Amino acid sequence: MNISCDSSELIHRSNRKPIPDQPHSSFSSPISLRKQTTNRIMTNIVLYRLPFLLIGITITILFFYTFPLNDLDSPYYPDSSSSPLSSSALPARRVLLEEPPMKKQSVMTRVPGGVRGKRKRIVVTGGAGFVGSHLVDRLIERGDSVIVVDNMFTGRKDNLLHHFGNPNFELIRHDVVEPILLEVDQIYHLACPASPVHYKYNPTNVMGTLNMLGLAKRVGARFLLTSTSEVYGDPLQHPQAETYWGHVNPIGVRSCYDEGKRTAETLAMDYHRGAGIEVRIARIFNTYGPRMCLDDGRVVSNFVAQALRKEPLTVYGDGKQTRSFQYVSDLVILFLD
């Protein structure tokens, strides 16, 4: 009895079909997640990115079709073998790709490049005086830009009135015994009273020359000093050569002018040797011409003044002394050479 029951139970179990394993709904394997993500990305690319990619390719093709690389107007391919451009026009475009040739460097100066050019910028100290005003006339006529520096001790504005309003002319009332800062190419230093009546009261040779030489050194300007025949003193040699050192009295009545000019020449040559400044020295003898001051005490002006007043001409000494005279325009020409 027991056996039959067991056998029936065995038969029932053998007829039962195995139930397959069902995956849990709340958990997925890592492999299936990667597959789902990859499928989603590919779907996005196909549905959304691919049309934009095709549009980009189309625009690129149209661009290169419209503007080919061997375009004749392109400055970046001047040597293209397919370009039928004439050889005469090639260098014009090749210049765009080449660096300009290096220019030969000139001597460096401290004046800015914009200041320099065909028109020189020149300062004339004492430019309102007798000789200085004639020098200004010639410089303006030559086309230079002129700055006149004068304290009007012996100079007069009337000598320069005809230049007022000229854009190339400038007048500065200033005493050169005080420094002044300018940007110039050349300096003509004429500022100093030249007659005994005036230079005894205002000797400006040393300090004025020193300040102007300092300016010339700072800006690299050429410097011209107007000296005098008085550097020879009471000469024993006639006529005086430039190699003659003179016969001077350092403590005489006129020594402030004579020794002042000698010192000015010494300073100029020291700046030339020590600082490399281009220096010129002009030893002026007796000069006459328009705009002379009638009361300066010199022989020509004295003769002219006495003649105009119909007075007897005064001759000093025994009348055997000699003088050299030059007209002011001839003197100015020598300055400019």
Q: Is the pLDDT of residue 93 over 60?
A: no
Instruction: Please give the CATH number for the structural domain made up of 121-288+325-336.
Output: 3.40.50.720
For the question of residue 257 being annotated catalytic, the response is yes
Query: First-to-last CA distance in the chain?
Result: 156
Contacts of 174 (CB under 8 A, 6+ apart): 149, 150, 151, 180
Please report the pLDDT score of residue 174 as a whole number.
94
Question: For residue 314, what pLDDT band results from cuts at 50, 70 and 90?
Answer: confident
> Which one of 257, 271, 316, 327 is the catalytic residue?
257
Q: Is the pLDDT of residue 90 over 60?
A: no
Question: For residue 170, what pLDDT band results from cuts at 50, 70 and 90?
Answer: very high
The 10s digit of each residue's pLDDT in 272-311 is 999 999 999 999 888 888 998 777 777 888 888 899 899 9
Q: Pick the more confident residue, 231 or 127.
A: 127
Please report the pLDDT score of residue 46 as a whole number.
64
Please report the pLDDT score of residue 72 as a whole number.
44
- Give the mean pLDDT of the chain: 76
pLDDT > 70: percent of the chain:
69
Please report the pLDDT score of residue 294 as a whole number.
75
Please report the pLDDT score of residue 105 as a whole number.
44
Please report the pLDDT score of residue 319 as a whole number.
77
Q: Is the pLDDT of residue 99 over 80?
A: no
Query: pTM of the entire structure?
Result: 0.62
The 10s digit of each residue's pLDDT in 14-64 is 455 555 554 444 445 556 666 677 777 777 666 666 677 788 888 888 877
**Three-state SS sequence of the chain:** CHHHHHHHHHHHHHHCCCCCCCCCCCCCCHHHHHHHHHHHHHHHHHHHHHHHHHHHHHHHHHHHHHCCCCCCCCCCCCCCCCCCCCCCCHHHHHCCCCCCCCCCCCCCCCCCCCCCCCCCEEEEECCCCHHHHHHHHHHHHHCCEEEEEECCCCCCHHHHHHHCCCCCEEEEECCCCCCCCCCCCEEEECCCCCCHHHHCCCCCHHHHHHHHHHHHHHHCCEEEEEEEHHHHECCCCCCCCCCCCCECCCCCCCHHHHHHHHHHHHHHHHHHHHHCCCEEEEEECEEECCCCCCCCCCHHHHHHHHHHCCCCCCCCCCCCCCCCEEEHHHHHHHHHC
